[in-house]
Amino acid sequence: MSAAHHVCVVDDDQSVRLALASLLRSLGYEVETFESGNDLLRWLAHHRTACVVSDLQMPGMSGLQMFEGMIDMGVDAPFVLVTAYPTAEAEARALSIGVRAFLTKPVSAQALAMHVRQAVNRAD
């Protein structure tokens, strides 16, 4: 399977995970969903993706820790971080390590679509 139109969604809240996946599928993307950062990192050991959309605060491993794990693995996929609890410090840290976008929940469908489209176009 080509990674060019493939997006991974990571969120410990099933309703958010399913809503984000549904939106992305309606835009024509192939979507894989994961409940945790560990689940995504295991999957990325054997697969490629054009973009990862992840929650910031999750049990066990934060979205930022997961992104750092991706970097350590050599995974070069754009990362879009979403959070219900934005802080200037978290946003500055995220952007300083290469996170493409830092979005606040509830996520605007238009903003998410724009950032994912830019990421996927970069992967083509």
Residue 59: pLDDT band by 50, 70, 90 thresholds? very high
- Which residues constitute the domain of residue 68? 1-73
Number of domains the chain is built from: 1
Sign of CA dihedral 11, 41, 97, 50: negative
What is the average per-residue pLDDT within 39-58?
A: 97
Q: Is residue 6 part of a domain?
A: yes
Q: How many CB atoms lie within 10 A of CB 43?
A: 14
For 56, the token pair is 């910031």
Q: Evaluate whether residue 103 is within a structural domain.
A: no
Indicate whether 124 pLDDT > 90: no
CATH number at residue 51: 3.40.50.2300
Note whether residue 46 is domain-resident: yes
Residue 50 CB coordination number (10 Å): 22
pLDDT digits (tens, 9 = 90+) for 65-112: 999 999 999 999 999 999 999 999 999 999 999 999 999 999 999 999
Q: What is the pTM of this model?
A: 0.94
